[in-house]
Structure 1
Amino acid sequence: MTRTRSVMAVTVLFLVAAALALGELAKRELSGSAVDLGVIELRLGFNPGVAFGLGGALPGGVVLAITAALIAGLAGVAWRAASAPSPVTRIGLVALLGGALANLIDRAADGVVTDYLHTGWFPTFNLPDVLICCGAAAVAIAAARDQPVQQTP
């Protein structure tokens, strides 16, 4: 179990580093410009709120404190889940934690999260947001799959 936790922690740190590096690259390369990739466009944006800009009017310290508390709880769940039989659960929690930590660190620097992926029909988002959504989906799928199916008589 110690090895599993170590692998999970290193993977989270790798995801955080990759996400923060992409955010910095976006700030440097996309300032005042956009790159059309067909389905998605690289366009720089900054989000003072949480998901989809919700809470953008709240003081930055409040958003940061609430987010940090939620991440601490998530880290506790991930620590306990290291012994979970489902690798999908562990992978999902690692993705969730990596994305959430990356956004928290990004927000701590200047009160906003750097967004750079734009579809035209959905709010602009970033790699940590993708990790959070995919991680949540993986955890939900694993939980649904692990639930016994009830037979009706």
Structure 2
Amino acid sequence: MQTHPATATAIAPAPRAAVHPAIADTLPAQIVIVLTELFGTDLRQWHFLIDLFCDTVMQDLADLEAAIARGAAADVATAAHRIAGSARMLGHGAIGDAAHAVERIALSDDNGRAHPADLQHAFVGLRMQIDTFRRHACRCAWPDAGAPG
């Protein structure tokens, strides 16, 4: 067991070994840690939460895109904030950071209109992060609903 350098306390080994390797190796490590803390190795719960995240983040992404098209900075910030919060709760820092970047751009605008080029660039980066995660999640070898997780 390793020790944390700042506190000299023991660090438990990563939970990846306890999870089906085809799933643990497909998902980002921090998501595996978060899901293990929440649900142990119950892969049905993991699958449910990841599906829920993917569904809601796609709706939020559509809302975000529409707000960018309207130039509505407050709505852009709200939609980006929802995505950032959901991603960080799941443990996906890259999506959370990309959404926060969109939110910062929207909030930095003084006259209530978002900067189209900056927002579009940040939005594309966010969409790429989300699309990559969704592809990885779809490749997971999830157990059948009736089989034990």
TM beyond 0.5 = no
Higher fraction of helix = 2
User: So what's the TM-score if we normalise by structure 2?
Assistant: 0.41
Higher relative contact order (CA 8 A, sep 6+): 1
TM-score by structure 1 length?
A: 0.40
